Chains A and B, each alone.
Chain A
Amino acid sequence: MTKKQIKDLVITSYKSDDELDEATVEKLTDLLSRTQLKQYIIALKKYEEDKSVLVKLATLPSIDEEKKLKEVFPNKKIVFDVDPSIITGMRVVNKDIISEYNLKNTLDNLIAHITENYD
């Protein structure tokens, strides 16, 4: 099965509202061989990653914050995750780019700077 065929299969697995169609997926798993299924799963995961953005916050986002983020990523599904370790701010994971806008990262940078430059 070619890459294009796998990609077409992935696109047809989604309903019109961009949610995965469970029935279609189950039908496909019965029809594909083991190798093809593996390729299909990898392509599906990549497709999900490409169309969604993971935002980690220290607390649940306010409505304003959600609205602003939707303006920044208009064509993407935003998934929120609470991670108190970042203290304040957020971490945005968009495909393979991680953007750190949080206090934990600033403090980590400070520690790294001290470690490298002072005995």
Chain B
Amino acid sequence: MINSNEIIEKLEKRLMTFSNDPKTDNVGKVIKNTDGVITASGLSRVGMGEIVIFSDDSTGVVFNLDEEFVSIIVLSGGGSLREGDTVKSTGNLLSINVSDEILGRVVNPMGDSLDGKIKIEKGKSIPLERIAAGVIDREPVDTPLKTGIKAIDTMIPVGRGQRELIIGDRGLGKTAVAIDAIINQKNILKTQKQVICIYVAIGQKQSTVAQIIQRLKDEGSFHYTVVVVAGASDSAAQQYLAPYAGTSIAEYFMEKGEDVLIVYDDLTKHAWAYRQLSLVLRRPAGREAYPGDIFYLHSRLLERSVKLNKDLGGGSITSFPIIETQAGDISAYIATNVISITDGQIFLQSDLFNSGIRPAINAGNSVSRIGGSAQTKAMKSIAGKTRLELAQFRALEAFAQFGSELDVATISQLERGKRTVEILKQSQYNPLSEAFQILSIWCVGNGCLDNIKIEDVQRFELEMHSFVNANYKNVIDLLASGEKIKETTLNEMKKALEAFKNSFNKISKEIKK
């Protein structure tokens, strides 16, 4: 408890150090207030991205510097601003206060609390706009980020420090994939680094965001997650700044050596918000009325997702930007921009979704440019041929529709492919650990499911996991270690599976009776 004498002593010291230099303010006057953008005269010394304060205590950030006027986007308040009101520069860049207390919180891009708790006042002030780490500061991506989704972890593996785009039409499960990835981080082994998660909601409905937050709480994943919200009812300025605020929070943790996963949901709405601001500012409009620097908007954001080298702490930011397409058109302007920036994409297709394949991932159009470097040796050895087999199955399936007679080998390949598709289906909010994923993929790849009916495959998988976990725990532990699968482990797996299949077949027969 600081007593009065101590405070007075500190004040006296402060008075002694007060310099004789005068305080200089740079002021201006509001000329125009249009759609959240203020045009002001004066402010001759203000810089780009500097925070300004209006006479009614509203804040704004400088967005355009013209010869005689300055354009300012309003961040908070601003409803009562009129022509002639004064505006003062602060000399500070737009930043957000971050500390460890931000985990488990819901904030807006300014760092204001939206969950009813106290605002984070103390902490490190991180600017929203920052230059990404240079080439020398980086390290190749070699640590897996497990999403818990079989289709992704086997065929489109994501590494810590990678940018993997999730792209598809509305309602196909893009957000579901991202949320499952966040939930799966609670299953991190004690030997691995905990992944801190940040979910940035841009232009989303408040009800949707509330559901997501509740789901994260119910799954016990909220304590390591931060939610940054700029909803549909928030201004275009807030929606524009939200991803940068989220990235600044991620960089705080990354620079402490932590691994971070950030989801931008979604960058299409982010582009719309930036287009709105640019049009109001009368910047020249280009293709589809987007401003000329729309690519730079996303490239400078996503370039901040890095894996730092060990000298800088070895932290990383993995990002999942989400883009919404119309009618599956991945050749649209914003979609192609972001595809060219990211290190791969997960493409969700409506045909697959409608035919019951969920997650509706099109393995053909999806890619991870990091590839096997982001997989453990165990997973790589088992999942190596899955993608190829699936591609061959798809080609054969199209051919088989012609109705011609097929040879035995083709039929068995078709049947194997159907079972592979079935095993890759996964329910929402049900991420699987790597050990169980390896078991499932190994099982289908080795023909263990060839004599199981397709409608029983999912039940088989579920019961097989429970059986192996209860009776062959050592196999699970060996697979979870990530080390290359030895012959002895494979034999154990075969033994476990045979034992389970016997009991499964017996039960199936009894059910039929």
Which A residues fall within an 8 A CB radius of B? 46, 95-101, 105-106, 109-110, 113-114, 118
Contact = CB atoms under 8 A, between A and B. Distances in A.
B7 A118 contact: yes
B109 to A, nearest CB: 22
Contacts of B41: 46
5 contacts: A97-B44, A99-B22, A100-B23, A110-B14, A118-B2
B25 interface: yes
Interface in B1-45: 2, 7, 11, 14-15, 18, 22-28, 41-45
A98 B11 contact: no
A97 B23 contact: no
Nearest to A46: B41
Nearest to A116: B121
A11 B43 CA distance: 24
Contact of B23 (A46, A105, A113): A105
Contacts of A109: 18, 23
Given A96-B26, A99-B24, A100-B24, 7 more contacts: A96-B43, A97-B27, A98-B24, A109-B18, A109-B23, A114-B11, A118-B2
A43 to B, nearest CB: 10
Q: Which of A97, A105, A106, A114 has the most CB of B within 10 A?
A: A97
Contacts of A110: 11, 14-15
B14 A113 contact: yes
A103 to B, nearest CB: 11
A96 B11 contact: no
A44 to B, nearest CB: 14
Q: Which 9 A/B pairs are nearest by Cβ-Cβ distance?
A: A96-B42, A98-B25, A100-B23, A99-B22, A101-B22, A99-B24, A96-B44, A96-B27, A100-B22
A110 B25 CA distance: 17
A118 B44 CA distance: 34
Contact of B27 (A98, A106, A113): A98
Contact of B25 (A100, A101, A106): A100
A106 B26 contact: no
A109 B28 CA distance: 21
Contacts of B7: 118
A95 B22 contact: no
B67 to A, nearest CB: 9
B332 to A, nearest CB: 41
B26 A97 contact: yes
Nearest to B44: A96
Nearest to B40: A96
A96 B28 contact: yes
A97 B24 contact: yes
Nearest to A101: B22
A109 B44 CA distance: 24
Contacts of B45: 96-97
B24 A106 contact: no
Contact of B44 (A95, A99, A105, A113): A95
B177 to A, nearest CB: 43
A93 to B, nearest CB: 8
Given A106-B18, A109-B18, A118-B2, A97 B25 contact: yes
Contacts of B43: 96
A84 B41 CA distance: 29
Contacts of B25: 97-98, 100
A118 B4 CA distance: 12
B11 A95 contact: no
Contacts of B23: 99-100, 105, 109
Nearest to B121: A116
A99 B11 CA distance: 24
A97 B22 CA distance: 12
A96 B15 CA distance: 28
Interface in B305-334: none
B274 to A, nearest CB: 29
Contacts of A100: 22-25
B125 to A, nearest CB: 12
Interface string B102-133: 00000000000000000000000000000000
Contacts of B2: 118
A109 B23 CA distance: 9
A112 B42 CA distance: 26
B12 to A, nearest CB: 11
Contacts of B22: 99-101, 105
A5 to B, nearest CB: 15
B124 to A, nearest CB: 16
Nearest to A96: B42
Contacts of A97: 24-27, 44-45
B46 to A, nearest CB: 9
Nearest to B46: A96
A96 B23 CA distance: 14
Q: Which of A96, A105, A109, A110 has the most CB of B within 10 A?
A: A96
Nearest to A92: B22
Contacts of B27: 96-98
B376 to A, nearest CB: 49
Nearest to A113: B14
A99 B42 CA distance: 15
Nearest to B43: A96
Contacts of A101: 22
Nearest to B28: A96
A85 to B, nearest CB: 16
B320 to A, nearest CB: 37
Contacts of A96: 26-28, 42-45
A96 B25 CA distance: 8
A96 B44 CA distance: 7
Contacts of B44: 95-97
Contacts of A106: 18
